Structure 1
Amino acid sequence: MIDLSHRITSGMTVFPGDPEVTTGPALTLARDGVAVERLELGSHTGTHVDAPAHTIAGGRTIDRVSLDELTGEALVLEAAAGAEIAERSGIGAAALGLGELARVPPIVLIRTGWDRRFGEASYLRHPHLEAEAAERLLELGMRVLGVDFLNPDPTPGPGEEADFPVHAAVLGADGLIVENLRGLEQLGRTARVGFFPLPLAGGDGAPVRAVAW
């Protein structure tokens, strides 16, 4: 099995404004006879899935998402064919070769290699998927969009206003988004994958253990 998840650690990268991540001992073997870690984090920490409720009023919550939706054969689309992708650049349908596809499986992963910058300041200046590409993927049959960067929409810089057209398209269609994947270069054009979220009651999303077989 191939682990496609970032480790959860104190101070790790989060979307601007999200809760910071803090981990540390709550109980210790020396003092309490057992070791228990205290976790403080947001529902969209690290490698995680966005449920429709994340941006859609009345949308499905994560505990209403079937694991069957998050497991199966995935198509891996490489943006820019291995070339260096410019910061904040848009990834359109042509860059992904969508014009050559008549159908896609329900799970589609976008590989950019940006996961190598996780933990660096430049990680927030990631490329993004253009709305027309997301809409085309939905037309071709996609139900789950996975990306190896922070956010399929542009992440706003200081003083910039956030805009989420890809979230609106995918979550608005009752689909799902998996963010902050890593290691997609280990996969071929297709791969069997699974994303297993914490079953947070009424949750708008949850961290996942993302794996490929």
Structure 2
Amino acid sequence: MLVDLTQPIRPGMTVVPGDPLVDCRPALTLADDGVAVTGLRLGSHTGTHVDAPAHVVPGGRTVDRVDLGELTGEALVLRVDGLAPGEVITLARLGDLPAAVPARVLMATGWDRHLAAGPTALRHPVLAPDVAVELLDWGMRVLGVDTLSPDATLQHGPPALPVHARVLGADGLIVENLTGLTALPRRVRVGVFPLPLADGDAAPVRAVAWV
């Protein structure tokens, strides 16, 4: 059975402050034009999306150069319940971990339920940078989260993105704004399929799990 892990894209949905707001409106209509066509305005980091290294790494790999095989296959789901707003997810918080992890690791916090409640969604938990380093050392190449970011979203001044720097700096990938992760088994096969935006720093995706 396929389970959809993708947030629907809709006008007014929560985005990271400073990102383009989502606008979807009729460009052509059946009544006037004989066909229905919707005009879209959105950022590359809208909804469920994948960050390519080019997002933070000068000259980094762009999303159109990502092999779909990197984003498809076995994933380890790390469920972290009962987190407070802004809480840092430490290695101890994750409990027992295998000595080696699959290339894809998903952090299931349950924070996806807050996406529609803008201010709460922005105060999501964050991943400790040393955890990202450990997971990379153990074999992770793709980090997936059910929050707006594995790093803090509400900050003053230029964004500080230590987890992004480590994962994307290692030529890995980050998938953000997944949904439904808390219902998945600990081991699952997933597929994440981004739009091949030429020279893109990121792209919206359709993400699924086979259960």
| TM-score (structure 1 length as normaliser) | 0.95
- Structure 2 distance, partners of 1:129, 1:35, is 43
- Structure 1 distance, partners of 2:207, 2:47, is 11
Cα RMSD, aligned residues only = 1.0
Equivalent residue runs for 1:124-139 within 5 Å: 124-139=122-137
Identify the residue that residue 182 of structure 2 maps to in structure 1: 185
Identify the match of residue 210 of structure 1 among 202, 207, 210: 207
- Structure 1 distance, partners of 2:132, 2:162, is 9
Identify the residue that residue 200 of structure 1 maps to in structure 2: 197
Farther off after superposition, 131-140 or 159-168: 159-168
Identify the residue that residue 165 of structure 1 maps to in structure 2: 162
Provide, for residues 11-51 of structure 1, a one-character-per-residue CA deviation record: whole Å limited to 9, x for no partner. Answer: 11101100000001100111000000100000000000000
Superposition deviation, residue 160 in structure 1: 4.8
Identify the residue that residue 9 of structure 1 maps to in structure 2: 10
Superposition deviation, residue 67 in structure 1: 0.3
Identify the residue that residue 86 of structure 1 maps to in structure 2: 84
- Does residue 38 of structure 1 match 2:36? no
Superposition deviation, residue 94 in structure 1: 1.2
- Structure 1 distance, partners of 2:168, 2:157, is 23
Identify the residue that residue 174 of structure 1 maps to in structure 2: 171
- The alignment of Structure 1 onto Structure 2 pairs a total of residues equal to 208
Farther off after superposition, 44-53 or 159-168: 159-168
Identify the residue that residue 154 of structure 1 maps to in structure 2: 152
- Structure 1 distance, partners of 2:45, 2:19, is 8
- Structure 1 distance, partners of 2:53, 2:159, is 18
Superposition deviation, residue 97 in structure 1: 2.4
- Structure 1 distance, partners of 2:93, 2:157, is 26
Contact 2:79–2:182 (CA under 8 A) maintained in structure 1:
no
- Structure 2 distance, partners of 1:6, 1:24, is 19
Kindly provide the amino acid, as one letter, of the partner of residue 208 in structure 2: V
Question: Does the residue aligned with 1:167 lie in a helix, a strand or coil?
Answer: helix
Superposition deviation, residue 63 in structure 1: 0.4
- Structure 1 distance, partners of 2:121, 2:175, is 16
Instruction: List runs of 5+ in structure 1 lacking aligned partners.
Output: none
| TM-score (structure 2 length as normaliser) | 0.96
